[in-house]
Amino acid sequence: MTEEKKEEEEEEENVSMVKELYDALGRSDISSVLNMFADDAIAHGPAPADVLPWGGVHNGREGVAKLLKVLGESLEDEQFELHEFIAQRNKVVVLGYAKGHAKPTGRPYEIEFVHVWSVRNGKFSELRVYNNTAALVEALSPP
């Protein structure tokens, strides 16, 4: 097997792993999601913690669990779409769209997002989230 073919297969496996994670999130199977992360994983929220409740840097599975918990307490997705998966080596970039409302205020949000996943030894080692932070801040702010 050529090196190029091996790399292509690894990229396909990484995309499958990312899709599996989103499927588990869709089922609210947080235990399975957390098991997909390395012990020393790092998740970067889309903004500092003083801007969004789930913002900042979250370390390890416990940090990822906290991020997911706070995110679930803050936002209710009514529409969540994964549009594109782009893989290169150990990275998978996901382009998507989400629409819903902020739970504390009931105010709507609509955003496009980019999630950058890094995979190491069959586990997620890093997540970086990019989105329209201003739209989320507005949705979370009292009217």
Amino acid 36: pLDDT: 98
| CA–CA dist 135, 122 (Å, integer) | 34
Amino acid 5: pLDDT: 84
Tokens 């992360």 locate to 37
Amino acid 10: pLDDT: 94
Nearest of 1, 80, 76, 67 to residue 34 by alpha carbon:
67
| CA–CA dist 47, 45 (Å, integer) | 6
Residue type, 23: D
| CA–CA dist 30, 129 (Å, integer) | 18
In the chain, what are the domain boundaries?
A: 3-140
Q: Which architecture, in CATH terms, is 3-140? A: Roll (3.10)
Amino acid 3: pLDDT: 82
Q: Going residue by residue through the chain, which has 143 residues, state the pLDDT in tens, using 9 for 90 and above.
A: 688 888 889 999 999 999 999 999 999 999 999 999 999 999 999 999 999 999 999 999 999 999 999 999 999 999 999 999 999 999 999 999 999 999 999 999 999 999 999 999 999 999 999 999 999 999 999 98
Amino acid 38: pLDDT: 98
pTM comes to 0.94
